[in-house]
Structure 1
């Protein structure tokens, strides 16, 4: 399972270009050096994962290809028990970008790197009742499998090394380079249920120019049909909803190249473009509902949400030796993500027959630009090992935008005049905006930017032949948020060549994302035949200030771990690590703070403090982001793999891994004047503490012969719970899933793989008959709405034809 290969670049940090190029010019007379090996978690060349003081898992291309999945997120979920990739449905944009987490923590508490450079976050902010509510993580499926050489997962806090967000860990995705073969693959899959047909074509081509270096381009196209596990709507004796994976079409292309400018200096460039078009459903609008126009949809309708996600990224830089013992890496990294919402087959009831059925509901955009300078080298102090030093600086610019939707997507009537009375088909006030996903209004529009800079230093050395010590320190200053200083100390002691103990303690932080600071939405509905205004208030808005809320501040963390690494037999590796992560001032999205019913309030609202604040600004309910909770996460990771050589080109590989994590909410901080349970309700506590599996187990074996191979995997996903609809809590028991695969070399360059995922067609527990969401949707829901760690599509069979050329 583990395979340490050369990483094509160092970790990102930076300096103004003028200083960087002066260093670059001074290096031109120095001798060239061969490519050096580096893995995440250590900046010492040649330090492998097994030799590191950190807990690291790596998955090479062969291991990745043995998993019969078409998306990187699903591959990692099956390979790494500490990684979770929960499925979502009827959850707006979250249906198109599943939340990726480590150790049961938040999507924005794991840092993703590409070739060691920081990957930008997605523009989508998860605001529905899903895992990762209130966060904007990284769209890991934007990286095509065809471009991936290996994946490294650092399973400990590393903010002192890599900066903000690296609280739960770091995922480094290494792109294919000159050592990777050229290949083309065709993947076809179908669910046992007969839906969800998937086709994927991927290719990767590279060559070495005559002057040296390499050039590689990889591309991928995927088409996936929807899956639907909705039950018959008992109100209409037919299926009225779409509950399952959304339909999707992905295209992506990635480039990775390196070229010698001189015999001493290399220039590199990597990055890519990707686009995903997806469509998912909302809740059904009944024929006689005030959210429908029977003259338009006489049988009722299910509004569709179409999303288009465009992603682009690029890193470029120069690497050069500085003398005999030092190296320099000067780079610039840019990444951007745009997330467009469009409603389909819907209606704005307040516009009546004039309403369009399809609207552009607006776009979220985010981008990052980072200038980095890394220096690393060594000093011989007469110890058992040189003192390895890495230092650097970084300057980062961020931007976040909300672009409003078209007029019809959000307006109340043709003039957006709330003094008018517009009635729906039942005589009730007509709701404003397009049904399903009312568009972003001009009042929500924002174009926000901020800058930050950082400086770091790493020290690492074997103080004796058996005792490895590593120290890291980082200072990072975010505009409008403030500065944070973090540190990390890792120790490892090798008692014998086959056994070592390791331990790490580190402090970390996560700056509030620009999305959390600046996101805003507003919708108009009716309740009790009165129009009500609900708002997600951004920091600094009138509603935010009127409630006396405090600006967001950084999350702080303290991460401790202790474990061992052993090789009890040749070609066998066993490791176990216990960890504890304390996070203070975690940022959450509150529940809606409702104004008290007007009927019970005095004329001046003196006995209704919330209405007294909200009524003057014409808002009936408001939610907001706030530093509301302190949490503790404890866990254990165990990994074992054993390679047995059987001779005559045959071998077997055995693996077993176990991950346990448990998050506990220690404290809830309620803003002054806000009742307990409003900021962070019991439903949100259940989602955070029990919404992801606390236990994951993987057991597997693979057999390799000269012309064929076969394997079997058993994956256990532990219990999960949800209470997000009416406070009704249900626990869904853990399940074992079985995967099998068989591969045969048709020729020296052509290989066919076939297999089954979830061979025994296992599904999550069903919702209980009295679950309120079932009653609300006419019994349509069969499985959990808010948490589904392995989804609910059932078994899948697949084939993959791979051609190396």
Structure 2
């Protein structure tokens, strides 16, 4: 068998390497590699809902990063874009079905992607999580994205509670493209420019090497209101100033009787973020007040090398090694450590966090063509090694009250942690008759720091008549506590009245945490059920509807900062005299999420040269708090406050509707994207507030002449803004009424934005 035929025959990782252009087929007809290890499965023929978003759809949004693009294309995806928290604003994960970012597993070409080193400890969506940064994968390298809206831990392991996002890289063997895009908001800020390049070439007769690059620069936006205390704008609230450079490659080539393959990405980004304004008199170095600037520099890299081969006539083997690396170094300037008085520096090295992941995968699979009406079986194993380190900032950054804005990393004890995990799985799909597809998966994962977990998944699909099918899944899942959640440690000083007190975010193993009721973290446990219908009355019209129910036990959350006389007394009784406040991670929460998701796709001709393509989607996402466990040591102090509970349950839109329309007439095309986000609730400052739903419309007009394409577009055509915060006197006293809205808004703060793009294929 030739190397090219071998690559095409492989399911899973092999299909992820194919060089076909997904734009040549309907998304419902696209061959998927997510949620199944059978080859040749179409999205609409799957047992679970799988959405396919190709590169053309992503580019048509005009958004330079994947998070925002998917947010306006996929009902199940939410991408809240914090405007004031430096760690959250510079790591861009997504959520599925209103759950947490780290409850969605991200794959690249079917291989597990590494998480961020940065732990979100801010009061924003994803508080307490370290998720995958989609912005570290260059858009220029992406052929398509497959979104599995179903729990799949039994197939892929930890984190796949809400679903799986599989990013398939381009694998062209010849030709390439280059594009330039620029834009700005209508208010005149946020100027941005993006350059993307992709080039493919052959390796021998049957191999390929595809190279991609991206460079993006963005100026900041600021939607801060006038500070009523001083009669001027004092805050920076909006997108940070940023610079991103990314590279990617994908290759495959025959080697012996099999094929060697590999892919990798590297991203370097830096951003400039404003912290909270410090009022006049806060530091003698700044008599008029000051706005600290936090500047993280992030390096992210990943690489996979693998080999696949037939063993005998039917068995296929795939062995691969994947490495992932994320390093974030923080600097803070235009600030001061007020406890150092006039001797304080105005710039500080705030320290570094680093995360690495090594994953070895081995999979054996074969089709069951001679068994009943066919099927597939797969067996495999995985070994994963992870490490997590915290590098201290300079002493001046964390001594006393610390550098204002960000006191940096100051672990109570040196943090250099690691762990190993092993897994084995079996995956079977079988057709008793041609119209019935049954599947089952069983997986056992063992972590050397908290033990083992067995998960299972059962799937089924029944094609009752031509064009009408029932589908459903049921299974269990889990999310292992991350190293970041287990070992993050930061200690700093704070003023309580006129007294300097010590506060910290500490590991559950720390004596301070243990004295205050912390216990070793357990894995989150889930039970997922999905049931739906697929209707395809004609090849150009499809409709799907699915009900889902996700029950999660022992959700991991970051506690509130516990302090007060009772805390001090407990710590002193335990012989700890130098701590007054602390917070830690806890398995304190049980939740249930349920809803309905509906999608429709209709394509047709309006004339000899005129075509249309209409896609609709709607989802309901209802998360309820089932149980909040009390702290056994401090039952009168809740582990989670109202703000944290709302972020878990009601901080994301309760429903969402999306529509995408493409009209093409000869060389001219018009693309319109509409997204309507439902209401959500938050506690933005001092009181709970319900934010009504908002909708936005994006439009782009394109012209294609041979290899040249020109596009002009507008995002948020009608300049829709999120609901403003209702201010109390206390909130005005603390912030001056500067914040226009909360951090949870899904439509962002920028308002109407214009852009233009020119692209050339060669």
1:92 to partner: Cα distance: 3.0
Deviation at 1:101, TM superposition (A): 0.5
Quote the Cα distance in structure 1 between the aligned partners of 2:540 and 2:486. Answer: 50
Q: 3-state DSSP class of the match of 2:647? A: helix
**8 Å contact from structure 1 (residues 187, 200) kept in 2:** yes
Say whether the 8 Å CA contact 2:410–2:489 is kept in structure 1: no
For residue 695 of structure 1, report the CA deviation from its aligned partner. 0.8
Unaligned runs of 5+ in 1: 1-5, 14-35, 413-431, 598-604
Match of 1:378 in 2: 367
1:779 aligns with 2:737: yes
8 Å Cα contact 2:67-2:93 kept in structure 1: no
Deviations 1:535-576 (A, max 9, x none): 111121121222342100100000001001111233111001
Map 1:530-541 → 2, pairs under 5 A: 530-541=499-510
Q: Report the CA distance between 1:443 and its aligned residue.
A: 2.9
Alignment of 1:226-245 (within 5 A): 226-245=220-239
- Residue deviations 1:192-215 (CA, integer Å, cap 9, x gap): 111111100000001112342100
Deviation at 1:237, TM superposition (A): 1.4
Which residue in 2 is equivalent to 1:602?
none
Equivalent position SS for 2:303: strand
Query: Is 1:163 the equivalent of 2:151?
Result: no
Partner Cα distance (2:9, 2:201) in 1: 15
How far did 1:157 drift?
0.1
| SS of residue in 2 equivalent to 1:228 | coil
Which of these residues, 49, 58, 61, is aligned with residue 64 of structure 1?
Answer: 58
Q: Does 1:737 align with 2:731?
A: no
- Label 1:771 to 1:519 Cα distance change in 2 as closer, same or farther (>3 A): farther
SS at match of 2:576: helix
Match of 1:288 among 281, 284, 296: 281
- Equivalent of residue 717 in structure 2, options 759, 766, 769: 759
Q: Which whole-Å CA distance do the structure 2 matches of 1:517 and 1:164 have between them?
A: 16
2:394 matched residue in structure 1 = 406
User: Is residue 273 from structure 1 mapped to residue 266 from structure 2 by the alignment?
Assistant: yes
Count matched residues: 741
736, 750, 754: which one pairs with 1:793? Answer: 750
Partner of residue 631 from structure 2, selected from 664, 671, 675: 671
Which residue of 2 is the match for residue 112 of structure 1?
A: 106
Decide whether aligned partners of structure 1 residues 465 and 567 sit closer, same or farther in structure 2, where only a CA change above 3 A counts.
same
- Aligned position for 1:25: none
User: What's 1:750 paired with?
Assistant: 708
2:316, 2:666 → 1: CA distance? 42
SS in 1 for 2:396: helix
Distance 1:104 1:7, change over 3 A: farther
| 1:693-732 matched pairs, under 5 angstroms | 693-726=653-686, 728-732=687-691
User: In 2, Cα distance between the equivalents of 1:696 and 1:442?
Assistant: 41
Distance 1:260 1:661, change over 3 A: same
Say which of 132, 143, 147 aligns to 1:138.
Answer: 132
Partner secondary structure for residue 260 of structure 2? strand
- The alpha carbon displacement at 1:794 in A equals 0.7
Relative to structure 1, is the Cα distance of residues 614 and 194 closer, same or farther in structure 2, using a 3 angstrom cutoff? Answer: farther
2 CA distance for matches of 1:572 and 1:238? Answer: 55
Q: Using the alignment, how far apart are the partners of 1:9 and 1:188 within structure 2?
A: 40
* Alpha-carbon distance in structure 2 between the residues aligned to 1:331 and 1:680: 42
Quote the Cα distance in structure 2 between the aligned partners of 1:736 and 1:563.
27
- After superposition, the Cα gap between the structure-2 partners of 1:614 and 1:777, relative to the gap in structure 1 and judged at 3 Å, is farther
**Conserved in 2, the CA contact under 8 Å of 1:7 and 1:115?**
no
1:527 to 496, 500, 504: 496
Q: TM-score, normalised by structure 1?
A: 0.90
Equivalence for 2:24: none
1:210 maps onto 2:204 in alignment: yes
**Cα distance in 2 for residues equivalent to 1:771 and 1:196:** 32
Matches of residues 348-363 of structure 1 in structure 2 within 5 Å? 348-363=337-352
Q: TM-score, normalised by structure 2?
A: 0.95
Could you say what secondary structure the match of 1:685 adopts? Answer: helix
Residue number in structure 2 paired with 1:629: 589
Aligned equivalents of 1:395 and 1:267: distance in 2?
20
- Find the counterpart in structure 2 of residue 252 from structure 1: 246
Aligned to 1:149: 143
Deviation at 1:87, TM superposition (A): 1.1
Cα offset, 1:444, TM superposition: 4.8
Aligned to 2:444: 475
Quote the Cα distance in structure 2 between the aligned partners of 1:459 and 1:702. Answer: 39
Partner residue, 2:316: 327
Mapping 1:428-577, distance limit 5 Å: 432-441=401-410, 443-577=412-546
3-state SS of the aligned residue for 2:382? strand
Q: Is the 8 A contact 2:73 2:675 kept in 1?
A: no
What is the CA distance between 1:461 and its match in structure 2?
A: 1.6
2:18 equivalent in structure 1: none
Q: Distance in 2 between matches of 1:66 and 1:528?
A: 54
Contact 1:11 1:117 (8 Å CA) reproduced: no
User: Secondary structure of 1:182's partner?
Assistant: strand
Counterpart check, 1:201 vs 2:195: yes
* Counterparts in 2 of 1:700 and 1:212: CA distance versus 1, 3 Å: closer
Query: Equivalents in 2 of 1:123, 1:305: separation in Å?
Result: 17
The SS at the match of 2:605 is strand
1:383-394 aligned within 5 A: 383-385=372-374, 387-394=375-382
**Alpha carbons of 1:152 and 1:409: their partners in 2 closer, same or farther (altered >3 Å)?**
same
Deviations 1:269-300 (A, max 9, x none): 101110110111111111122xx12xx21211
Partner Cα distance (2:382, 2:654) in 1: 36
Larger Rg: 1
